[in-house]
Structure 1
């Protein structure tokens, strides 16, 4: 493949690395970034089987971009930046960790050969996670986590130890589960997939490389006979032009289906405040909710002083939203939450505003009549998190943001603990 001088308006520097299906170039005018250029090439068996496939580079580039946009919207830390040309994309510059992280939902392929006695289709709950050392000469041997830790890889100044391995394992499974939920919207089963991580110049671990139809097994309707991934090519004993056309059509179908993997739930979190004096408290709830990707409205109404108006507003939202949560902000004999709960089938969360009579206000929110199901929390971020958990039952991106938040909190604690241990 000839080496271009410029792609998508970006002046190319030196060729950093060339693989079977892509080239990676330095970008002298964009410090800290590289350009990944896809090839019209498909390979299998560590490159033993290889064919030119016109149009594959553009299909792979768009597939990768759409996948990474889903993952970025969920909050996953990625090296991917944006598409640079029909066949190339811009990425943060990373040194790659030489490990493939494979996640499996169903037993198939090489797993069956390595684990005789396990029937094809055996379902892993939770997903099975495996690691393989990138070594083409030895066919990417499977490695244990202990081997990775003991290798003491130093990548961009970061030594890969147990903390880093734990983070990548959890992130790998989360990436799989996000995309599994996404593909379920199109009645497609994500069977397994592989990803790789890199370390940027600041020592951050990022999801990197490429995720396209070479990276996973995908079975429409969960039927192996309908597979639309690279396995179709792997299974070919001989390869004709017609066979390559089928593979290309499959890849194109996957690329097009990714446009329909955005959540289609019209949700809303409505924060009712009993008095405009509670607005600061409500804005804190709204800010925390919006950071989780929730659509939020704030309304002022009183269940005691304007019951009919309160119910009218509530019914307006019931008529126009599929996923809906009401948050009631009221103290001093809270009637707002119970009135909403008694007249809707949607969840209601009480979050009384701070006051010098907080204990009494909390009690008035907790002590509701029988037959009502209000929840009560004290802190604004707790109300937002609970609303997100409810909406996340129907919107996988909101669910994913919660999971990513948990992952980052746990990793930050591990980093803080590691820093403290290193000081001793």
Structure 2
């Protein structure tokens, strides 16, 4: 009786194995006929007992499953890429354990081809502004080919473009962990027929030059991307509101690239956002020394001094800005505003004065000083109109100053220029 039971169990397993083989064959046939959906359904029928099947059948099953899901991915189902990858990896692990490698070569080749397909699809997604999809595909491409860390770098960039900052932070931190540098050499030569500079790998470039199809070979070193990565990590932490981690990231980045003025600016802006205006001012001063011809830097130094009531320092910064860029409209407007603000600061004292002879004299003195300041502010804008006669912001601010001065003639003139 015991023998019969064992025999029945053996027959049962044999039947299951036969059924699985038929379903795998049906899946292969459906896939060959272009019906990936039917192939997927056939495989689902074999899935429940596949883990108890012999290694050879398991390897075949996962090889077919990889092919089916890869076909689905190529036809637009991006979510199928991961299943295809997992299936091919299962093929490799099963055959590695059994020592029989019938499907491993095909699985490896398919994953290599899939990497290229993922990257090409990601490029198309980025062009269509589908940044989240692009980032996911580039990351999968990197996981398929870990030596190609450039894919991980571009995955992070796509995530930033899609404003998926948590995912971008994950990718950037992984770039740090694997020690991605990004520096290298770009090999170029001029195509003699078209006259265009073309980039290619070194061996191809050298062959083309020897064949006289290209000329003027050049080797151009590309800089390290480490500072950019750490800076982006800091910016993302700042965006996510984790200012302490952002400050630590800036500190690390500046240790790597102490001469990078953009890192100083980034840290300065973070301190400004945190309310530490003194530190902001200090760092902006450092940045200004590092880039003395940077009009934007000088303008921002003017802004912070203006906000802190340091009007003379603000004017000095705005004048330096305008010496570099005479057409910097915001610097012109703010320079004018420093005089208006100083004049307005006298009004409270003027209103507090009484009717005594001394108070009247003080009132007249303050009013003259206020009017002189407003006139100086108007003069800045009148000079601006010489090169920007139609600028609406300049005209509007100038109209308001003349209105406050009670200068009816100039007030009407500016109103006409505004078309009012």
The structure carrying a bigger strand percent of its residues is 1
TM-score interval, smaller chain = under 0.3
The structure carrying a bigger helix percent of its residues is 2
